[in-house]
Chains A and B, each alone.
Chain A
Amino acid sequence: MSDHLDDRLAAKPVSRTRETLQTLMANKLAVAGLIALTILVFVGIFGETIAPYGINEIDIPNRLTGPSGTHWFGTDDLGRDVFSRVIVAARVSLQVGFIAVGFALVVGVPIGLVAGYYRGGIDSFLMRMMDVLFSFPAILLAIAILAVLGPGVGNAMIAIGLVYTPIFARITRGSVLVVSEEVYVRAARSIGAGNRRIIARHILPNVMAPIIVQTTLSLAFAILSEAALSFLGLGVQPPNPAWGRMLAEGRNFFQQAPWMGIFPGLAILVTVMAFNFVGDGLRDALDPKQKSVIESRGQSV
């Protein structure tokens, strides 16, 4: 006699991914963050075409003018349009964020997978290395790396990436330690699946949730780090615009022309908050603990 699926089954298969997206879309802050990010990415790609002025169009007579119909965010000490520079600088911020975090992911996640799955000596070795990287304050480490490699956008990406690598390695390893004890991993072994298959098919998909959340949150911090490095003159080099650099330049004119610092500052704020909202939303949607609470409540009913 067979069990028959009853009518409570949804019309279409409900994968965890679909469920997650539905939960995410129900979160207003996360949706706001997603919208802001979409605009930001659009601006990052088409910044130069949208910008009303060239980023290096110097207009000394109109220097330090306040926000107006012609210059929405005012002009800086060389008469350059702040709005245009903020818009164009979005690209480099996002680039540094994505590439640096991408680097951290590509290096950190495999380290975490190997360390957590095989354990023992290889685990101790890899994780002690990560601990060394992790034991420095993030921004100091980035500055130290840039001191060796020399300032510049490319090096800033590597520096930030290196700083975030141990975070991904640790998060991945922690989840792998838990997931590799799951019965379905043992079940996969029982049918003869090899280590590589188990890692790729069973472990990795089941540790993705915290990694995705961490990626989103790290993007926010990476952009913040880039701003800090550029603020210190170690990141984007003049005359190219970067939010951190603009903030630094605006500092000198804060009394006369506060808009020079306020608008790039706002841009950083909005970007970081957008990533954080999405990250928090994703965490709520993916967090297995909260989920299991909801599920067990459903079952006890």
Chain B
Amino acid sequence: MTAPVLQVRDLQVRFGTKRGVANVVNGISYDLHAGETLAIVGESGSGKSVSVLALMGLLPQPPAAVAGSVLYHGDELLGLSPKEWRGIRGRGTAMIFQDPMTSLNPVRTVGYQLTEPMALHLGLKGDDARQRAIELLDLVGIPSPEARIDDYPHQLSGGMRQRVMIAMGLACDPDVLIADEATTALDVTTQAQITELVDELQERVGMAVIWITHDLGVVASIADRVHVMYGGRFMEQAGVDALYATPRHPYTEGLLGSLPMPGADRPERLVTIPGLPPDPVAMPAGCPFAPRCGYSDGDRCVGTVPAMESVGAGHDSACHYPLGVVNG
């Protein structure tokens, strides 16, 4: 296997708040390889979005404090100066966000916003930049891009805007694309268009994608590998098939059980997870899921954070008593 594009090691993010220090990301590690799609699934407050903002250098410090290591093609990203960051962001890595309306500047045309980073990173100007912008709009499936390039964001539909965001992300040929709840605000039919598009682009351009979402349905349709995040930690990580077929962590099992499955036969009741996610200011000492977990032993689970351990080929679970695995 080739060297990973991105290596994240023990990434931690804390925030100083009025109530005390919030431990939002508490040591997550993963590798991202060229051409793969890695999904980070979690509920709101799990730290999933903050973790990618941190590795993109997009968190203002303070109030945030970021620790750990993020290697991009072997170079450390944490601690770069803003100037050094500009060279990487856009050029090497790109990010698309949940709300394309607020991520686009309402008083500039689509074309202006597309060509601006080109001048910065590629030295493309004038007609060349415009030509490239039209190509990009075409690439992301916007009909009659020659006309659309002079539109303002409010003249486009939500799906179109997200396509423009993706085109902006692709403008400088990044090899890592981070999609942070990129389809959450969209309707299902539009969502299908966008996931399909990213899939297609990935095949053509060969970039690696980190897909941040709370939607296990979307994950099943796009991901190669999945990390399940809760309370700022990974609970379980596996290839997408293994994760859905044989979840080895009680939280994953609970999440999957709580989903209504489309189909003819309906289960009597959905599985529910009692309680609330942990408060980042007062993280439990042991497993963050222990207070809500039906399998908790009330002792080791509450007292010691379980380490991420292998429970199968390419399948790890951070649980003292991983499901379906016989041990002590």
Give CA–CA (A4, B45) in the complex, Å.
18
Contact status B280-A301, CB under 8 Å = yes
Distance in Å: Cβ of B215 to nearest Cβ of chain A:
19
Give CA–CA (A4, B274) in the complex, Å.
8
Contacts of B280 in A (CB 8 A): 301
Give CA–CA (A299, B46) in the complex, Å.
11
Contact status B274-A301, CB under 8 Å = no
User: Which residues from 264 to 296 on chain B have a C-beta closer than 8 Å to any C-beta of chain A?
Assistant: 272, 274-276, 279-282
Distance in Å: Cβ of A290 to nearest Cβ of chain B:
14
With known contacts A6-B275, A6-B276, A298–B49 Cβ distance under 8 A: no
With known contacts A6-B279, A8-B279, A300–B272 Cβ distance under 8 A: no
Query: Within 8 Å of chain A (Cβ to Cβ): is B244?
Result: no
Give CA–CA (A8, B22) in the complex, Å.
13
Contact status A301-B272, CB under 8 Å = no
Contacts of A300 in B (CB 8 A): 49-50
Chain A interface residue count, Cβ-Cβ cutoff 8 angstroms: 12
Q: How many residue pairs, one in A and one in B, have C-beta atoms under 8 Å apart?
A: 28
Distance in Å: Cβ of B150 to nearest Cβ of chain A:
34
Distance in Å: Cβ of B18 to nearest Cβ of chain A:
8
Instruction: Kindly supply a per-residue 1/0 record for chain A positions 169-193, scoring 1 wherever the CB is within 8 Å of any chain B CB and 0 otherwise.
Output: 0000000000000000000000000
User: Which residues from 33 to 66 on chain B have a C-beta closer than 8 Å to any C-beta of chain A?
Assistant: 44-45, 49-50
Contacts of A4 in B (CB 8 A): 274-275
Distance in Å: Cβ of B302 to nearest Cβ of chain A:
14
Give CA–CA (A299, B280) in the complex, Å.
10
Give CA–CA (A2, B276) in the complex, Å.
11
Contacts of B50 in A (CB 8 A): 300-301
Distance in Å: Cβ of A237 to nearest Cβ of chain B:
53
Contacts of B22 in A (CB 8 A): 301
Contact status B274-A8, CB under 8 Å = no
Query: Within 8 Å of chain A (Cβ to Cβ): is B15?
Result: yes
Distance in Å: Cβ of B315 to nearest Cβ of chain A:
29
Contact status A3-B276, CB under 8 Å = yes
Contact status A3-B275, CB under 8 Å = yes
Contact status A301-B275, CB under 8 Å = no
Query: Within 8 Å of chain A (Cβ to Cβ): is B24?
Result: yes
Contacts of B274 in A (CB 8 A): 1-4
Contact status B15-A301, CB under 8 Å = yes
Distance in Å: Cβ of A169 to nearest Cβ of chain B:
32
Contacts of A297 in B (CB 8 A): 17
Contact status B282-A8, CB under 8 Å = yes
Give CA–CA (A63, B319) in the complex, Å.
90
Q: What is the interface of chain B, defined by CB distance below 8 A to chain A? A: 15, 17, 22, 24, 44-45, 49-50, 272, 274-276, 279-282
Additional A-B contact list (15), CB under 8 Å, known A2-B274, A8-B281: A1-B272, A1-B274, A3-B274, A3-B276, A4-B274, A4-B275, A6-B275, A6-B276, A8-B279, A299-B44, A300-B49, A300-B50, A301-B24, A301-B50, A301-B280
